[in-house]
């Protein structure tokens, strides 16, 4: 029996607590094969073609799915990423594989120059990384991974090893990235938020002088159609922001681009709740972290909620005020257990309304407003639906007891993941595959949903779900 079959047989026997349809058994095997193919020995690449290194929030989502196949591998995934953490606490958005040729991906290690340009910020000397960050899903992932096999986790000292690093990561964000002074974290580059090409960035980016086109070569166009990718003008602005940040020694506080984003902050809040549970498992009080999560939730509502839009919006700190663009980022706070009931009800109406159309016009949640002038069903983060954001919203609906909508979204994710060969993203109307196939987090989150039977709920007190692999978390 090959390695994938062994993992699949073991997890199917141990963890699936219901009788899955035959199609789901096949889907489980295929998802496991993707993760096996993308495994490098210590981490998982998002895609063997377009993304040949380790990405930060990808690894968090991948670990959440890997826990159902191999809790040890899931722990290793997070440990490998956190081993590249900088001295100031930041977790870089890319950890580079030195065996991959430099021209396989841009910006490559020789662009970021982390070990030299990042020396003052404590960049590691033994591994090359980028200098920017990505959304902090990691503590949530670490807690769920622990819950998959608490005995193994305790025997290896998994939580004891990652907790100080996760705490330092959150300190960096909360202390160094509160650029608006209102308690929320700011991103200083569109790539940090993860939704790289969102129309939410158009106005803040318009102030940035692009790097000359001749100064860089776009490796992404070797693997995707130009009409589906960011424009050369936008890419030039991305490069300019990154090079200016690098040349400033990766120091925070003076960035030309500074935006408070609802999804980034919502994921930090969810991870604060998870850190509180991790602290409790380690015998330390978690009360202060739960309280901090509640304060951040209040700040999120105060600074980013827009009643007229019926959702959260980004705040442009350099331009002043909220950015009048509706993106899926503004729905992600539905994930939070402490969100006010009236805000939850409004977000659910917006999710199913004409701007996102879930349950009527669209199969998965589009990344941008269907009625927005910049909407494009195929262009990167300007309309296509992504599996990780639909997974977050499925979890949010379940958190707030909306099991019918959660079950429908779960079924849509599983159906489209299988039908598209675990695509990177899809046309929200037709479900047509876009981007890379065999995509890591699509396969991983498919596995996670397969291990959450229809009708199951989510604990209102935190991120643990009531599926078998999370029950230990609800008792902690």
Residue closest to 157 by CA, chosen among 331, 330, 278? 278
- Cα separation, 437 vs 320, whole angstroms: 39
What count of residues does the chain have?
476
Q: How far apart are the first and last CA of the chain?
A: 37
Q: Which residues pair with 30 in a beta bridge?
A: none
Report the half-sphere exposure of 384 (CA within 13 A, side-chain side): 24
Q: Which residues of 407-432 are buried (b: 16+ CB within 10 A; e: fewer)?
A: bbbbebbbebbbebebbbbbbbbebe
Q: Are 314 and 205 in contact (CB under 8 A)?
A: no
Inter-CA distances, 340 with 203, 298, 351, Å: 30, 9, 17
Is 424 a residue of the active site?
yes
Catalytic residue among 192, 369, 394, 424: 424
Structure tokens at 260: 């408070």
Helices 22-38 & 3-15 angle (0-180, nearest 10): 130
Catalytic residue among 15, 178, 196, 220: 196
| Sign of the Cα pseudo-torsion (359, 362, 367, 373, in order) | negative
- Cα separation, 140 vs 145, whole angstroms: 9
- Cα separation, 289 vs 277, whole angstroms: 9
Structure tokens at 96: 């580079």
Beta-carbon contacts of residue 155 (< 8 Å; ≥ 6 apart): none
- Cα separation, 32 vs 129, whole angstroms: 28
Beta-carbon contacts of residue 332 (< 8 Å; ≥ 6 apart): 262, 263, 266, 267, 389, 392, 393, 396
Is 196 a residue of the active site?
yes
Cβ atoms within 10 Å of 22's Cβ, excluding its own: 7
Is the omega angle on the peptide bond into residue 414 within 30 degrees of 0, that is, cis? no
Which alpha helices (H) appear in 39-149, and where do they start and end?
56-66, 71-82, 109-112, 114-117, 138-148
Q: Known catalytic residues?
A: 196, 424
């Amino acid at each position: 029996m090959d390695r994938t079959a062994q993992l699949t047989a073991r997890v199917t026997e141990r963890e699936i607590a219901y009788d899955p349809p035959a199609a789901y058994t096949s889907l489980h095997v295929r998802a496991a094969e993707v993760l096996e193919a993308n495994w490098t020995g210590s981490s998982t690449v998002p895609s063997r073609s377009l993304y040949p290194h380790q990405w930060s929030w990808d690894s968090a989502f991948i670990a959440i799915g890997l826990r159902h196949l191999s809790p040890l591998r899931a722990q290793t995934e997070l440990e490998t990423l956190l081993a590249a953490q900088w001295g100031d606490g930041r977790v870089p958005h890319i950890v580079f594989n030195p065996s991959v040729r430099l021209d396989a991906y841009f910006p490559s290690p020789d662009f970021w120059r982390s070990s030299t340009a990042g020396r003052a910020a404590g960049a590691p000397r033994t591994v090359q990384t980028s200098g920017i960050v990505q959304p902090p899903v990691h503590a949530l992932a670490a807690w769920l991974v622990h819950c998959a096999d608490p005995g193994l986790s305790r025997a290896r000292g998994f939580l004891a090893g990652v907790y100080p690093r996760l705490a330092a990561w959150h300190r960096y964000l909360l202390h160094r990235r509160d650029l608006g002074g209102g308690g929320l974290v700011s991103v200083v580059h569109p790539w940090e938020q993860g939704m790289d090409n969102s129309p939410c960035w158009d106005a803040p980016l318009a102030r940035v002088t692009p790097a000359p086109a001749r100064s860089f070569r776009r490796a992404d166009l070797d693997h995707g159609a130009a009409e589906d990718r960011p424009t050369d003008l936008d890419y030039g602005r991305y490069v300019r922001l990154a090079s200016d940040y690098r040349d400033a020694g990766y120091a925070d506080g003076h960035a030309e681009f500074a935006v408070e984003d609802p999804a980034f902050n919502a994921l930090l809040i969810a991870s604060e709740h998870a850190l509180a549970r991790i602290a409790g498992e380690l015998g330390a009080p978690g009360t202060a972290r739960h309280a901090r999560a509640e304060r951040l939730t209040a700040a999120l509502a105060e600074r980013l909620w827009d009643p007229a839009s019926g959702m959260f919006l980004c705040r442009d700190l350099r331009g002043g005020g909220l950015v009048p663009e509706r993106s899926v980022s503004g729905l992600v706070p539905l994930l939070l257990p402490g969100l006010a009931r009236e805000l939850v009800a409004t977000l659910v109406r917006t999710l199913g309304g004409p701007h996102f159309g879930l349950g009527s016009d669209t199969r998965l949640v589009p990344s941008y407003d269907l009625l927005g002038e910049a909407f494009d069903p195929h262009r990167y983060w300007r309309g296509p639906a992504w599996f990780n954001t639909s997974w977050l919203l499925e979890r949010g609906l379940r958190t707030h007891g909306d099991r019918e909508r959660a079950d429908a979204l779960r079924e849509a994710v599983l159906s489209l993941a299988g039908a598209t060969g675990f695509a990177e993203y899809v046309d929200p109307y037709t479900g047509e595959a876009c981007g890379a196939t065999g995509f890591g987090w699509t396969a991983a989150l498919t596995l996670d949903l397969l291990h959450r039977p229809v009708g199951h709920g989510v604990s209102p007190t935190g991120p643990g779900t009531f599926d078998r692999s999370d029950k230990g978390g609800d008792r902690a």
